[in-house]
Structure formats: structure tokens, C-alpha cells
Amino acid sequence: MKLAGRPVLCRLVQLDRMIRTGAYPNARSAARELEVSVRTVKRDFDLLRDSWGAPLEFSRPHNGYYYRDKDFALPLLRLSEGELLAFYLSAHLLPALRGTPYERALQHAFDKLTLALPAEVSVLPERLAESVAIVPAAVTPQDAKIFDTLCRAVGERRRVDLDYWTASRDTRSRRLVDPYRLVLIGETWYLIGYCYTRQRVLEFAGGRVRGVRPTPQTFAPPEGFDLQKYLACSFRAWRGEGHYRVVLRFPPAVAGRAAEKIWHASQTTELEASGSLRMTLELSDLQEVMRWVLSWGAECEVLEPAELRTMVTEELERIWRNYLPRRDRGRKVRRDSQPLMAPSEPRL
């Protein structure tokens, strides 16, 4: 490994490994291996012994150095195999960092730690990959330059001019925004800030920012603004201005699965005599929870509020129409008669 011109720590780590493996390096052999001068390696040996407390001894029969105490480890590099595995997992459990400046930085940090570990606890990434597997969910690609600019604007409290795409209307608009915080919700980054167009605090999906220009103006966040309180009644990222008590029922077949996760901070559950699970949530908007309810299919029933029951019913009707022949898609659905779709034959 060529370490010429690299930081001294890298050379010290390599010297440490050579000593531990019983290579008995001396100034000349180490200089050839590291591709640096003999004088540089002599300084590195002195640094190991005098500044890092390495128990260096010179073996005349082997014409090289060894450690008098085999248990010695460089002070900053005492990382166990389990700790390295935890760091490896953290680097692969954050797919939302893809496309951000932090993706490469995290990988470089892992590479440096792998290099810096003493030989007896070092773990190759290939070995870790054989032990664990992580399947990422859907990820919104991030523009690294835009993300970096937003990070800087948040840190400098600098007002920004956003070119933003609104998905629901498929339109682009210019927004002047005071960026309070970048927040990772699920696997999507959001910019939380005051929008001068709408004149209130909003969430902007990071992947929908098509362009950003910092302005000369700076700002001070409003006194008393608390991000956790702001997001407390949101279901995922969708925050509204209302207040809804949402009550759901999950049948016995999925009650355990529904109860095993905390889907929202306000969540309370109650097991009914029938074995069904009753779940209660306190939310500020119903749009996102409606989509979540639909993801459970027939295994989740909305009990309250009536508004959410209507939203789910209307959405099911729209879904149903998508599967009708085109000539029938415009006909009116009678909710008080036959079900939307005839029950299918039981599977054998």
C-alpha cells in the first residue's frame, strides 16, 4: 500500500501492523514498504515510542523492531470487532444519505477505521457483507450540490430562493424560504422552514427542490419554535392544521403485527375480547394516515372519525373504477346495494 504523502497516522497504522505481524521492520525495510524516506520512517518510530507510548524494542537477531508488550494497541484505535460491525451497519442502514455529501464521507470514515484497526480485531468489509444483508426500501435520489447548499444555508441561517416542484399539481414555483432544519423522516429528507409565499412554516421534500440560491439575507428562527412539537401530530411528514382522533381496528389475524411497532408517538392500543386490536392516534391531518390505512387492505377498519371513513371509501371507489372496462368507469356506484366488487371464489 502506497502511503507516501499520506497523513502520518496512516503510516503509524501501517508500521503498527508490520510490527504485530512479526515482520520485524527496520528503517530501511519500512521505508521501502511505505515508499517514503528512511529519515521519515525513523521519525515515525520515534513518534510511536515517545508520543504514543509504544513498547518498541529492537531485535538484533531479526534486525528489526517488535513490541515488548504484545497487548499494546494504539490509544485511538482500540475498536472491537463488534463496534466495527455496528459502524458498518450504520453506514448501510442510511440509504437516505445516497446522493448527499455525507454518503462518501461515511464510506471514507469506515474505510479509515478498517485501516486503523489492529490486526487481531480488523474485519474486512467482505467478511461483514457475508454476515449481514440489508435490503434498502424506496429512496428519493438527492442532488448532492443542492443538499450541500441547503445544509450550509441552515447552518448559516441564510434565506434561500427555492425552485420547487409540487407533485400534487405537477407545477414548479419560486419560494423564498427561511430554512430552519433538514429532517430525515422515514427515508426522505425534508426542509422545514418559513415560506414567504404561503406565510407559514412548511415542509419541503428535499428531492423536489430543483434549484436553490442563497440570498444575502439572514434570519433568526422564531423564539420558542420547537421542531419536535411542530411534528408531533404529523403522521410521517404530512402535517395539517386540524386535530383528529383516529380510531382503527385490526382483526385478530394481524393484531400482533399492528401492535409490534410504534407507528406514531400518540399511539395507544387496546386488545378487545374478540382478539381484535383497537388503535388510537391523535393527528393534525388525515391524508397520510388514509394512505397507510389503505396499505393494510381489508385488515384495517376506520372507526373514527367519519371524515376518514368517507375518504377511505371514496379512494376505494376510485381504485375500483381503474379496474372497470373504460365504458363503465363513469357510472355511479350505489353504496347501499351491492359491494363495490363481487367476492371472488375461495382459493383451494
Does 195 share its domain with 264? no
| Residue 205 confidence (pLDDT) above 80 | yes
Cell digits of residue 120? 487481531
- CATH number, position 150: 2.30.30
**210 contact partners, CB below 8 Å, separation of at least 6:** 163, 164, 165, 172
pLDDT in tens, 288-345: 999 999 999 999 999 999 999 999 999 999 999 888 887 776 766 555 544 444 444 3
- The Cα 50–Cα 224 span in angstroms is 52
AA identity, residue 286: L
- pLDDT for 344 equals 41
Does 212 share its domain with 252? no
- pLDDT for 221 equals 87
Does 194 share its domain with 215? yes
Does 193 share its domain with 220? yes
**Within-domain flag for 170:** yes
| Cell 407545477 sits on residue | 171
Does 39 share its domain with 102? no
**Which residue, among 242, 261, 248, 254, has the nearest Cα to 309 in the 3D structure?**
248
Does 180 share its domain with 205? yes
In sequence order, what are the beta bridge partners of 165? Answer: 172
Cell digits of residue 326? 373504460
Does 61 share its domain with 37? yes
**Within-domain flag for 334:** no
Domain that holds residue 35: 8-77
Q: Over the Cα atoms of the chain, what is R_g?
A: 30
Half-sphere exposure of 222 (CA within 13 A, CB side): 11
**Within-domain flag for 231:** no
Q: How far is CA 199 from CA 193, 194, 211, 225, 239, in A?
A: 10, 7, 21, 15, 16
- The Cα 339–Cα 328 span in angstroms is 16
Mean pLDDT, the chain, integer:
82
Contact 56, 48 (CB under 8 A): yes
The pLDDT of 212-220, averaged and rounded, is 95
At 315 the three-state DSSP class reads helix
**Within-domain flag for 94:** yes
- CATH number, position 38: 1.10.10.10
Does 124 share its domain with 172? no
- pLDDT for 92 equals 61
| Cell 442563497 sits on residue | 214
Q: Which DSSP letter does residue 98 get?
A: T
**Within-domain flag for 318:** yes
Does 266 share its domain with 316? yes
Last residue of a domain, one of 197, 225, 253: 225
**Within-domain flag for 97:** yes
Q: Which long-range contacts (CB under 8 A, 24 or more apart) does 343-346 make?
A: none
**Within-domain flag for 95:** yes
Q: Which long-range contacts (CB under 8 A, 24 or more apart) does 38-43 make?
A: 40/11, 41/11, 41/15
Number of domains in the chain: 4
Of 141-145, 250-254, 262-266, 296-300, which range is least confident?
Answer: 141-145
Does 265 share its domain with 323? yes
**Within-domain flag for 235:** no
Dihedral (CA of 22, 25, 31, 37) sign: positive
Cell digits of residue 84? 466495527
At 287 the three-state DSSP class reads helix
- CATH number, position 252: 3.30.70
| Cell 450550509 sits on residue | 152
Of 69-73, 151-155, 195-199, 329-333, which range is least confident?
Answer: 329-333
- pLDDT for 225 equals 86
- The Cα 204–Cα 195 span in angstroms is 10
- pLDDT for 133 equals 66
Dihedral (CA of 215, 219, 222, 224) sign: positive
Contact 27, 42 (CB under 8 A): yes
Does 282 share its domain with 299? yes
Does 160 share its domain with 199? yes
**305 preceded by cis ω (within 30°)?**
yes
What is the value of pTM for the model shown?
0.60
- The Cα 137–Cα 241 span in angstroms is 30
CA 115, 118, 123: angle at the middle one, nearest 5?
60
